[in-house]
Amino acid sequence: MTNHYKPELVKFMPYKDNVSYRKDRTFTVDELLRITPEDLCGWMNEQTYGDPEPSDDMRTMHRRSTILEFTKKATSSFMPRINLTWGPVTERGNPTRSDVVNKLIKGVKNFKVRREGSEFKARWPVELTNS
């Protein structure tokens, strides 16, 4: 399963560290513990809005909530403290389980429900039948 999840982590870490990583890179526990909810939100905002700090009048353009949920799940699977909720005071736990990350995803879902979000990009083959 991690073979599907690791590419998401490898895409995120260069954003956080401003360093290019190879696809087969294994991140240390220390590197993973330094990930914060703010890092994740900045990257998710960049991927979704095209800006790490979007304004209130910006609309989602590039990613939908389902992709953000997958990104959250994939990143979470590598976190050393996978089962701990993020503590904003102690700054410990799993950053993907923080309020700010969940609020970001919920906001993108709201755009989707109001049909103001990113367009659905999946394509299915059309089967024509002779009736």
32 inside domain: yes
Domain range for 63: 2-113
Residues whose CB is less than 8 angstroms from the CB of residue 94 and which lie 6 or more positions away in sequence, other chains included: 76, 79, 81, 82, 83, 84, 85, 86
The reported pTM is 0.78
Q: How high is the pLDDT of residue 43?
A: 95
88 part of a folded domain: yes
State the pLDDT at residue 103: 93
* Amino acid 29: pLDDT: 95
Give Cα separations from 33 to 96, 97, 106, 124 (angstroms). Answer: 12, 14, 25, 40
In a domain, 76, yes or no: yes
56 domain-assigned: yes
In a domain, 118, yes or no: no
User: Is position 125 within any domain?
Assistant: no
pLDDT tens for each residue of 41-57: 999 999 888 888 887 77
Q: How far apart are CA 73 and CA 26, in angstroms?
A: 18
Return the number of other C-beta atoms located less than 10 Å from residue 48's C-beta: 27
> In 10 A of CB 123, how many CB atoms?
6
68-70-71 Cα angle (round to 5) = 60
Tokens (6 digits) for 24: 């087969």
pLDDT attached to residue 68: 92
Q: What is the predicted pLDDT for the residue at 48?
A: 87
Number of separate domains in the chain: 1
**Is position 14 within any domain?**
yes
**pLDDT at 122 (0 to 100):** 54
10-residue mean pLDDT series, the chain (131 residues): 84 93 93 96 90 76 83 94 91 94 88 56 62 59
Tell me what pLDDT residue 2 has: 61
Q: Is residue 129 part of a domain?
A: no
The pLDDT assigned to 3 comes to 81
